[in-house]
């Protein structure tokens, strides 16, 4: 009889373990309100087609009221948290504002974005509200039926988009060159910092001649200024700084600029050029060995 009772208890325990489980275990199949957010530990979830779907892993906890992961600066307030680690307001929006996130509409409540409704006809990004129909593009709250105005551009992922008939359409791929957020168009060559210049040096008749060229491509900006610098054994000093378009070579007398190196056992002339534009800078240097009459440039 004791053996039968133990077997029955084991079967009952197995049934509880197999059929039971926490809410987190069944999160994927839970019934929920379309577009709502929730936190499952550090995982941000959103309700899609009546079931919870994992949206994002949050390093500092998640906030279901905003539908976003916490950043390190907001104190990692955890699920439902919304306070900032510093003083001042932690509001993300102003009362009366609306926004679209895909086919979901959100409104501002208490300084935070809250889910309003799922937009079966799409969401109007100019109003932040649902459209009344897929054909006319009008919003449920009235106002403009267009998402944008003719002549406008914007950056979207790796594309520049332009406004066509009130809708955003892809205009050009900016992959590898980047998109200028201020213009909404793909960056041009002049909107990148310069790449490292190609620098060469040669030793002859007690002097070192340096010559250089600039790399230009989709991701290498055109330099505006070139500065020649020389190392005197202790620090770098500027020899000449000119407009990059006309400054392409320079000859340095070894008697003036070379210094004796104990490790090399001879005089060395070390020189470099710095190229710049408003987006950044790049440089290259040469170490020229006077006795051996050769230069090593990087």
- Per-residue three-class SS string for 15-78: HHHHHCCCCCCCHHHCCCCCCCEEEECCEEEEEECCEEEEEEECCCCEECCCCEECCHHHCCCC
Give the model confidence (pLDDT) of 122-169 as tens digits: 888 888 888 877 654 443 444 445 778 888 999 987 889 988 888 888
Residues 51 and 140 grouped into a single domain: yes
Residues 43 and 114 grouped into a single domain: yes
Could you please report the per-residue DSSP string of 209-248?
EEEEE---BTTBPPPSEEEEEEE-SS-EEEEEEEETTT--
> Does residue 22 form part of some domain?
no
Give the rounded distance of the alpha carbon of 215 from its chain centre. Answer: 25
Residues 141 and 161 grouped into a single domain: no
Cα 57 from Cα 44, distance rounded (Å) = 6
Residues 137 and 217 grouped into a single domain: no
Cα 71 from Cα 85, distance rounded (Å) = 10
| pTM given for the model | 0.42
Residues 107 and 132 grouped into a single domain: yes
Cα 269 from Cα 40, distance rounded (Å) = 64
Cα 21 from Cα 31, distance rounded (Å) = 16
Lowest pLDDT segment from 38-42, 195-199, 240-244, 248-252: 38-42
Domain termination residue (choose one: 135, 167, 187): 187
Kindly state the DSSP code that residue 196 receives in the 8-state scheme.
P
Give the rounded distance of the alpha carbon of 90 from its chain centre. Answer: 23
Residues forming a β-bridge with 113: 108
Percentage of the chain beyond pLDDT 70 is 73
Residues 134 and 246 grouped into a single domain: no
Residues 57 and 129 grouped into a single domain: yes
Domain around 174: 149-187
Give the model confidence (pLDDT) of 52-82 as tens digits: 788 777 766 676 666 677 765 444 433 344 3
> Does residue 21 form part of some domain?
no
Cα 155 from Cα 263, distance rounded (Å) = 54
> Does residue 20 form part of some domain?
no
Proportion of the chain in helix, strand, coil states, percent, rounded to 5: 10, 45, 45
Residues 218 and 122 grouped into a single domain: no
Domain of residue 259, CATH code: 2.60.40.10
> Does residue 167 form part of some domain?
yes
Q: What total of structural domains would you count in the chain? A: 3
Residue (of 80, 79, 60) closest to 70 by Cα position: 60
Give the rounded distance of the alpha carbon of 216 from its chain centre. Answer: 24
> Does residue 14 form part of some domain?
no
Residues 140 and 182 grouped into a single domain: no
| pLDDT of 37 | 77
> Does residue 2 form part of some domain?
no
């Amino acid at each position: 009889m004791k053996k039968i009772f133990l077997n029955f208890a084991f079967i009952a325990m197995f049934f509880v373990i197999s059929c039971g489980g926490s809410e987190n275990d069944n999160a994927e199949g839970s019934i929920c309100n379309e577009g709502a957010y929730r936190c499952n530990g550090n995982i941000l979830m959103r309700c899609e087609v009546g079931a919870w779907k994992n949206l994002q892993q949050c390093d500092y906890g998640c906030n279901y009221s905003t539908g976003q992961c916490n950043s390190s600066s907001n104190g990692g307030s955890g699920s439902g948290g919304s306070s900032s680690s510093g003083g001042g307001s932690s509001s993300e929006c102003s009362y009366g504002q609306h926004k679209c996130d895909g086919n979901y509409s959100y409104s501002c409540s208490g300084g935070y974005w809250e889910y309003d409704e799922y937009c079966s006809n799409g969401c109007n990004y100019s109003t932040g509200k649902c459209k009344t129909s897929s054909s006319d593009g009008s919003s449920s709250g009235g106002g403009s039926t267009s998402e944008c105005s003719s002549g406008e551009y914007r950056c979207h992922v790796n594309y520049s988009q332009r406004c066509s008939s009130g809708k955003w359409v892809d205009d050009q791929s900016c992959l590898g060159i980047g998109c200028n957020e201020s213009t909404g168009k793909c960056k041009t060559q002049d909107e990148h910092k310069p790449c490292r210049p190609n620098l060469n040096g040669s030793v002859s008749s007690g002097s070192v001649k340096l010559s250089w060229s600039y790399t230009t491509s989709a991701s290498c900006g055109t330099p505006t200024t070139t500065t020649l610098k020389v190392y005197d054994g202790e620090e770098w000093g500027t020899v000449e700084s000119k407009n990059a378009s006309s400054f392409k070579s320079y000859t340095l007398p070894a008697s003036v600029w070379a210094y004796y190196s104990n490790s090399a056992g001879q005089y060395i002339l070390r020189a470099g050029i710095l190229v710049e534009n408003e987006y950044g800078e790049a440089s290259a240097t040469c170490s020229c060995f006077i006795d051996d009459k050769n230069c090593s440039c990087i």
